[in-house]
Amino acid sequence: MATQYDQPFSCIMLDIDHFKRCNDAYGHNVGDAVLRATAGILRMSSRKEQTVCRLGGEEFLILCPSATAPEAAVGAERLRQAVESNRIIRGDVEVSVAVSAGVAERDHRTESPEDLLKRADEALCTAKRAGRNRVCLAGGSPRPDLIGPGHDSASLVRPPTTSHDVADAQVKVLIADDNGDDRAFCRTLLEREGHDVTEAVDGLDALAKVNQSPPDIIIMDLMMPNLNGLQCTRCLKGDPATHGIPVIMASAAAKGADVVASLEAGVDEFIAKPIRPKEFVLRVQSMARLSRGKAEFIRSNELRGEHARALSVLADLSWALAAAGSLERVLDSIIAAAAELTRCRRVSIMLPDKERDYLTIARSIGIDSSVASAVRVPAGEGIAGQVFLTGDSALFNTHEATPPDTRFYGSEPLPGAPLLSKALAASNRVVGVLNIAERHGGNAFDAAELEYVNLLSNMAASAIEEFVTREARDQARESVVIALATLAEYRDTDTGRHLDRVTRYALLLTDELQNEEPFAAEIDDEFPEDLRRAMPLHDVGKVVVPDHILLKPDKLTPAEWEIMRRHAEVGAETLRSVIARTPAVRFLKMAEQIARSHHEWYNGKGYPQALSGEDIPLPARIAALADVYDALTTQRPYKDAFSHEAAVNIIRGASGSQFDPAVVDAFLKRQAEFASLAIQLADNLDSADLTQMAVSS
């Protein structure tokens, strides 16, 4: 079984160079166009297995499953060149865009996804510091010589003609002063600079005005009636809603005691009265800039934290998908990631049947399994059925929009909004439907979350498609191998029914044994299905036994017997060579064991390896009895058929010598069913024609 540690995993953190400058110089329309165009170029130029995520701002993350750091760096360099060689034209503005990238490979033994992203981010910073428009690998010095031309992309964007600084923008100022002349003076100074001024006549009035409409900054007089400046400041700073608003204390004489008291109250700045106009305006502006910068910084870090969490879930999913050994594992990883990203309790993946006529729930959490297994939605009906047929997603984000159609849930009530039913589309084909519902807290999905689900769905769809295709391929391979086995059988028995019978006998024995210690542990859920597919291959090695031996009506000579015995090893080796090409298929491994060891005896006197007891794999011990019961009860070129009763006696007598006593016990308990299967699946008269055909071909 492949573990996720077998696969390398890398990511590329990529950032548009000088994006702010571009935005400032040409405006947001051009900025948006640059972002969209760059995203498009990245998606088009990236490989199929890579996932391109926009991190917000002008930053992108590209997940590269199965890629080592150097491979990912080569990929990053390809993306860098692709972006560089494009001109983005919007109206009469033509912009050249360049990107910097940081690449990191996950150290599987020690590293969390967050750490990986952090290292990629650091590598990106290094690329920026080294002059931008280049790729750097994490964990080392910048290697502009390794990749990328490394000329500063600064020259690629024309510098803005007029610099428009955020901090020069209008500031909302509240002036709290009981002296009307002072208020008027300040108002005039600030309004001349284009700022928006409100006045408060005392401390209480100031609190009321802040409540009505919070300003960017407050100029506070120290001595005022109805709450002085200190008391008012204390109130503002003690309230989480207002405590971020900077307060500048204006006072005539900055006495030491006043300063200490003011600082204790939470005052941010002092300004001396009488006011000096130029200094006053500058102080207010720089204070506003600082406070906005801080707010923006906090906000962007909160966003980043949320992004980082989501992206690390996606990164985890990406490499879990790359390493998954079965469709079930793929589906489980997708569901876990979807639940975590959206904080929803109820997530299911529905897959279509072969004819794509209806959907069933292939895997789910938060749905009672009896309900889940009963769901069967015709394509085009209900929410999921329509989503599947049209490829459009259905989003019921508010309670008013709760869908009225409950058909496809059977008797279960439909979960409330928000509810998202998303088509999983790969190569323009819908391969399944992802349903997400029952969100903790019940609030609507926001735009970022929907985008995460989008990314997840794209990754999910291609992983599912790959597995469905792989299963179809396996089935095709299986049928080829079985056709081969059947052909081999046609020569030595009357019909291919022999394979049917031994398979059914083996399944009967398995059914009996799985309730018993110590077999219960080995016979897991997949065991019977694997056995059903493996059993027909037990004698596939007989293809190398010549007809004159196989169909000989007499006893075999020692030399002939030598050749006959080889069928066990030959069959096992044949299957092993198939396995070498499809390592994930478990039934083939079981088939190899059965082919090799179905003629071993429990007492060690069988062939080809003279294994004994539990050294003989369980499937082979089961197969041995099934095979012999059938050989005994049917006619063979070299022998007549025994009755069921005679066969039972022979097998009972071989308990502990040829056969595992536990398997014989299971046989004795179910012998009535053996007898009726033998009759039901007997080679009938019609099969004589088949024998002719098979033998002559």
Q: How far apart are CA 119 and CA 558, in angstroms?
A: 70
Q: Which does 556 bind (CB under 5 to 8 A by kind): ligand SIN, ligand C2E, Fe ion, none?
A: ligand C2E
The answer to whether residue 262 forms part of the interface with ligand SIN (CB under 6 A) is no
| Nearer to ligand C2E (CB atom), residue 274 or residue 553 | 553
Exactly one of 556, 584, 682, 690 binds ligand C2E (CB under 6 A); that residue is 556
Q: For 354-511, list the strands marked E by DSSP.
A: 358-365, 376-378, 394-396, 419-426, 429-439
Q: Which does 564 bind (CB under 5 to 8 A by kind): ligand SIN, ligand C2E, Fe ion, none?
A: ligand C2E
What's the Rg (C-alpha) of the chain? 38
- 513-542 residues in contact with Fe ion (CB under 5 A) are 539
The answer to whether residue 650 forms part of the interface with ligand C2E (CB under 6 A) is yes
Q: Which does 637 bind (CB under 5 to 8 A by kind): Fe ion, ligand SIN, ligand C2E, none?
A: ligand C2E
Q: How far apart are CA 39 and CA 83, in angstroms?
A: 9
The answer to whether residue 493 forms part of the interface with ligand SIN (CB under 6 A) is no
- 459-518 residues in contact with ligand C2E (CB under 6 A) are 492
What is residue 340's three-state secondary structure? helix
| Nearer to ligand C2E (CB atom), residue 444 or residue 675 | 675
Q: Which does 597 bind (CB under 5 to 8 A by kind): ligand SIN, Fe ion, ligand C2E, none?
A: none
Q: How far is the CB of 551 from Fe ion (least distance, A)?
A: 15
Q: How far is the CB of 579 from ligand C2E (least distance, A)?
A: 24
What is residue 458's three-state secondary structure? helix
Can you name the residues that pair with 352 across neighbouring β-strands?
Answer: 359
Query: Are 410 and 389 contacting, i.e. CB atoms less than 8 angstroms apart?
Result: no
The answer to whether residue 647 forms part of the interface with ligand C2E (CB under 6 A) is no
Q: How far apart are CA 8 and CA 293, in angstroms?
A: 40
Exactly one of 146, 631, 675, 690 binds ligand C2E (CB under 6 A); that residue is 631
The answer to whether residue 555 forms part of the interface with ligand C2E (CB under 6 A) is yes
Q: How far is the CB of 556 from ligand C2E (least distance, A)?
A: 5
What is residue 495's three-state secondary structure? coil
Q: How far apart are CA 16 and CA 9, in angstroms?
A: 24
The answer to whether residue 348 forms part of the interface with ligand SIN (CB under 6 A) is yes
Exactly one of 375, 420, 499, 570 binds ligand SIN (CB under 6 A); that residue is 375
The answer to whether residue 628 forms part of the interface with ligand C2E (CB under 6 A) is yes
DSSP state letters, 147-204 = SS----GGGGSPPPSS---GGGS--EEEEE-S-HHHHHHHHHHHHHTT-EEEEESSHH
- 628-667 residues in contact with Fe ion (CB under 5 A) are none
How far from 29 is each of 35, 90, 153, CA to CA, in Å? 10, 8, 21
Query: Are 407 and 430 contacting, i.e. CB atoms less than 8 angstroms apart?
Result: no
Site string for ligand C2E, 608-627 (x = CB under 6 A): -------------------x
Query: Are 540 and 595 contacting, i.e. CB atoms less than 8 angstroms apart?
Result: yes
Exactly one of 435, 593, 597, 655 binds ligand SIN (CB under 6 A); that residue is 435
Q: Which does 60 bind (CB under 5 to 8 A by kind): Fe ion, ligand C2E, ligand SIN, none?
A: none
Token couple for 359? 């959907």
Q: Give the helix ranges, DSSP H, for 224-276.
A: 229-238, 256-265
| Nearer to ligand C2E (CB atom), residue 77 or residue 627 | 627
Q: How far is the CB of 390 from ligand C2E (least distance, A)?
A: 55
| Nearer to ligand C2E (CB atom), residue 639 or residue 669 | 639
Q: How far apart are CA 355 and CA 352, in angstroms?
A: 8
How far from 417 is each of 364, 404, 443, 594, CA to CA, in Å? 18, 11, 8, 53
The answer to whether residue 24 forms part of the interface with ligand SIN (CB under 6 A) is no
Task: Please identify, among the stretches 97-105, 366-374, 525-533, 550-558, the one whose residues bind ligand C2E according to the rule CB under 6 A.
Answer: 550-558
Nearest to 633 by CA among 599, 680, 597: 680
Exactly one of 53, 437, 463, 585 binds ligand SIN (CB under 6 A); that residue is 437
The answer to whether residue 409 forms part of the interface with ligand SIN (CB under 6 A) is yes
Q: How many CB atoms lie within 10 A of CB 401?
A: 13
The answer to whether residue 492 forms part of the interface with Fe ion (CB under 5 A) is no
Query: Are 58 and 15 contacting, i.e. CB atoms less than 8 angstroms apart?
Result: yes
Altogether, the residues listed in the chain come to a count of 697
Q: How far is the CB of 625 from Fe ion (least distance, A)?
A: 13
| Segment (H or E) for 348 | strand 344-352
Query: Are 562 and 549 contacting, i.e. CB atoms less than 8 angstroms apart?
Result: no
Q: How far is the CB of 653 from Fe ion (least distance, A)?
A: 20
Q: For 475-553, list the strands marked E by DSSP.
A: none
Token couple for 636? 């063979």
The answer to whether residue 564 forms part of the interface with ligand C2E (CB under 6 A) is yes
Exactly one of 319, 408, 452, 527 binds ligand SIN (CB under 6 A); that residue is 408
Q: How far is the CB of 79 from ligand SIN (least distance, A)?
A: 16
Exactly one of 351, 377, 379, 648 binds ligand SIN (CB under 6 A); that residue is 377
The answer to whether residue 675 forms part of the interface with ligand C2E (CB under 6 A) is no
Q: Which does 581 bind (CB under 5 to 8 A by kind): Fe ion, ligand C2E, ligand SIN, none?
A: none
| Nearer to Fe ion (CB atom), residue 59 or residue 600 | 600
Q: How many CB atoms lie within 10 A of CB 400?
A: 7
- 283-322 residues in contact with ligand SIN (CB under 6 A) are none
| Nearer to Fe ion (CB atom), residue 58 or residue 539 | 539
Nearest to 312 by CA among 118, 450, 123: 118
Query: Are 53 and 63 contacting, i.e. CB atoms less than 8 angstroms apart?
Result: yes
The answer to whether residue 128 forms part of the interface with ligand SIN (CB under 6 A) is yes
| Nearer to Fe ion (CB atom), residue 35 or residue 572 | 572
Q: How far apart are CA 435 and CA 377, in angstroms?
A: 13
| Nearer to ligand SIN (CB atom), residue 11 or residue 367 | 367
Q: How many CB atoms lie within 10 A of CB 554?
A: 8
Can you name the residues that pair with 219 across neighbouring β-strands?
Answer: 175, 248
Q: How far apart are CA 641 and CA 549, in angstroms?
A: 20
Residues of the shown chain interacting with ligand SIN in the complex, contacts defined by CB under 6 A: 17-20, 128, 346, 348, 361, 367, 375, 377, 384, 408-409, 421, 435, 437
Residues of the shown chain interacting with ligand C2E in the complex, contacts defined by CB under 6 A: 492, 552, 555-556, 564, 599, 627-628, 631-632, 636-639, 650
Residues of the shown chain interacting with Fe ion in the complex, contacts defined by CB under 5 A: 539
